Structure 1
Amino acid sequence: MQSETDEQPDRSDQVGDAQPSAKKPKADRPRVDKPKVDKVLAAAVDLAREAAESIAEPGTVGEHVGMSPDAERLGTHYFQCTAAGYPGWAWAVSVARVPRGKTATICETTLVPGPDALLSPAWVPWADRLAPGDVGPGDVLPRVEDDPNLEQGFEQTGDDNVDQLAIVELGLGRPRVLSPTGRDAAATRWVEGDGGPAAESAIKSAGKCRSCGYFVPMAGALRAVFGVCANEWSPSDGRVVALDHGCGAHSETDAPAPRPEPIGTPIIDDNRLDIG
């Protein structure tokens, strides 16, 4: 028989005696109250319609399509716009009232686009408006000094494999290669075509392909006369061009700087105008 002073075994690590942990209180979340619909403002449909009709063309304010509460004692009425050039647009009339006021007041009236509204294209900066294929005969692009697609002609690229190039030049690995007759026929077509020296863009261009950084010479016997254009801004991009061909997207030509618009002497000098 054990005495009262005998130590009892520790059962705190037993599952049956484990005490349930207290639940952590939930973190307080910021409460955002949505504005309630103001009865006085919601009833001001006729007042809002009059405001819209006061600035709209006659007959272009259609049916009332709804009212949305914007804040306490502030809301906006929407009316369908029936103008021919504004499908999907709506007249928005903001109304408000003072505390304990029973009368709505017009704040502003404007025309807003809806989800199906006809909108103008997104504005594009002038520097980004030119797209590949826009350069025509007689057009000249400005010179890009730090063009990432070009490097100095004396820089070593390290991509040439002399042995592999020799195999390609000899035509090894192909059953047949282009004969002199076929080569001359192709050269004649290319010279007389859009990539030749007689093309309109070549005649109007100050720079020729032989001095352009985007000119990639061809291999074999045609190397001395033809190459491939690698300039996406050129109308000849990806095509065979002659050394004497050219266009306004030459890497080394530059567009003339625009002259500033002349500003004449003002008729009235505001600094000397004496208002009596």
Structure 2
Amino acid sequence: MEAGRVGAHLGAHRLAEAGDGHVAVHRFAADVPGYSGWEWQAVVACAAGSTYVTVNEVSLVPSQSGDALQAPEWVPWAERVRPGDLEPGTVMPPEPGDPRLTEDPARSATRGSDDARGRAAKGRRHWLSREGLAGATARWRAGDFGPDGDFAREAHLHCRTCAFYVPCGEPLENFGACTNEFAADGHLVHAAAGCGAHSETPPAGGDHTAGMPAFDDERPVY
């Protein structure tokens, strides 16, 4: 340990697993740049009947307080991509065996709309699986434009009765697109969601400025 990098003595304890009680660990604060919340641990041992103490090991470890600055858990490369990482020009092919997709058209979650798409749907190898559709709708329900979002909790009217709500066909019958530029414009919203910009929102009551005298801010003050 370099001089000036060892702080105060934090305590010591014997290692029970050593059995004979002749092994102990001394803990010291670590004054090492970049290692906030870490500590030095020195393992010392003494043979039975001896007065000589041997330093077996010195290591820099996270402190018991749990405040140590540490690197995040290692994540395999294939699992590092997160929603929002895709940028213009990025190529992100599906992983082999992606459960969101199926190569069997009979197991497609969008069979009705696939037929309506005609030739555009026939030239591909993959189809949206039922699991992929279920995962997507679950995310949307739990998102900002779902029935439990902040806007929906404060709204008195729901999207399903709004003129700006354009419902989707199967299999997304509980969702639609918002066309209100002042609300969730261009987003897929749940029919049970809502906001204060509903087409049937009544006008605010009364003009609170009516009857009040006009104020001339250019009038000279003497």
- TM-score bracket for this pair, using the shorter chain length: 0.3 to 0.5
Structure number with higher strand proportion: 2
Q: Structure 1-normalised TM-score? A: 0.37
TM-score by length of 2: 0.46
Structure of greater Rg = 1
Comparing both chains, which one has the higher relative contact order based on Cα–Cα distances under 8 Å and sequence gaps of 6 or more? 1
